[in-house]
């Protein structure tokens, strides 16, 4: 079964430097039907104006993954990490017992567009940690590339939860096929473009809850980018 989460029904936060859409309940947006999907708790689709950003703030007991679509995001945290996250990078921050960090647009002239994903870890009070890896476009083009999972298989970032995160880009004429792991359900998020998922059309910002479907097929008439989560 495939149930589409309409992009137009997401929460919306808009201030001078931030335009953010919330797939699940977040901040001042509350929808009892969309409190998360298994351990997947947050998908925020954020656009930050040049020079804008989130000042230092704290997190606990959450796996926070950042995936940049356009522009660059500057990260600093109380573990001493400082980096710039660009398209093709995946950053994972395990908040654990507590961490403070800041996120700012790295450019004074161009906006940054990124997805921030929160996953509830399977254990509380773990040691905070940080990881950032680059996945070239060639590894994501025409296929779903494993980006994050528990054991860091195939170079993926480590996520402290029984989850598999994939990312893929699809060009016109390409078709992706994926078999959902035994006993897992899946959540698909369309980051860019328009795709068909087993014949159902999804536009940029749409998501789909996938249950009792083992075989997934994705195709597009132009160009699209998707994230796929497999969760218990």
Whether 174 and 219 map to the same domain: the answer is yes
Q: What total number of domains does the chain contain?
A: 2
Same domain, yes or no: 213 and 150 = yes
Residue ending a domain, among 82, 110, 133, is: 133
Q: What pLDDT does 201 receive? A: 98
The first and second tokens of residue 31, run together, are: 């929808």
Residue 161 to residue 163: CA distance in whole angstroms: 6
Residues 79 and 129: their CA atoms lie apart, in Å, by 8
38/117 Cα distance (integer angstroms): 13
* Residue in 230, 231, 186 with CA at minimum distance from that of residue 210: 186
Residues 145 and 57 in one domain: no
pLDDT tens, N- to C-terminus, the chain (232 residues): 999 999 999 999 999 999 999 999 999 999 999 999 999 999 999 999 999 999 999 999 999 999 999 999 999 999 999 999 999 999 999 999 999 999 999 999 999 999 999 999 999 999 999 999 999 999 999 999 999 999 999 999 999 999 999 999 999 989 999 999 888 999 999 999 999 999 999 999 999 999 999 999 999 999 999 999 999 9
Residues 29 and 61 in one domain: yes
- pLDDT value of position 200: 97
Residue 189 lies inside a defined structural domain of this protein: yes
Q: Which two tokens stand for residue 102?
A: 């800041």
Which whole-number Å values give the CA distances from 170 to 69, 121, 145, in the listed order? 15, 30, 12
The C-alpha R_g of the chain, in whole angstroms, comes to 17
- What is the pLDDT, as a whole number, of residue 182? 86
Range of the domain at 43: 10-133
Instruction: Give the residue from 109, 133, 157 where a domain finishes.
Output: 133
User: For position 148, which CATH number holds?
Assistant: 2.60.120.10
One domain, residues 17 and 126: yes
Query: Facing residues of 42 across strands?
Result: 118
For 76, counting Cβ atoms within 10 Å of its Cβ (0-12 exposed, 13-18 middle, 19+ buried), the class is middle
| Residue labelled with tokens 């296929």 | 143
């Amino acid at each position: 079964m495939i149930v589409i989460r309409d992009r137009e029904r997401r929460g919306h936060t808009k201030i001078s430097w931030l335009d953010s859409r919330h797939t699940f309940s977040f901040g001042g947006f509350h929808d009892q039907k969309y409190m998360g999907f298994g351990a997947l708790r947050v998908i925020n689709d954020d656009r930050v104006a040049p020079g804008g950003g989130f000042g230092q703030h704290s997190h606990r007991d959450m796996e926070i993954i950042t995936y940049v679509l356009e522009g660059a995001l500057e990260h600093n945290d109380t573990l001493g990490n400082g980096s710039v996250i660009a398209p093709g990078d995946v950053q994972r921050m395990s908040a654990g017992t507590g961490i403070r960090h800041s996120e700012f647009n790295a450019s004074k002239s161009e906006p940054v567009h990124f997805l921030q994903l929160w996953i509830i870890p399977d254990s509380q009070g773990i040691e905070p940690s940080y990881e950032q890896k680059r996945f070239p476009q060639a590894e994501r083009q025409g296929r779903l590339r494993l980006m994050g999972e528990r054991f860091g298989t195939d170079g993926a970032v480590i996520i402290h939860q029984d989850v598999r995160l994939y990312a893929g880009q699809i060009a016109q004429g390409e078709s992706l096929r994926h078999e959902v792991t035994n006993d897992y359900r899946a959540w698909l998020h369309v980051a860019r473009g328009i795709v068909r998922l087993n014949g159902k059309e999804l536009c940029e910002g749409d998501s789909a809850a996938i249950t009792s479907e083992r075989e997934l097929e994705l195709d597009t008439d132009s160009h699209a980018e998707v994230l796929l989560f497999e969760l218990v």
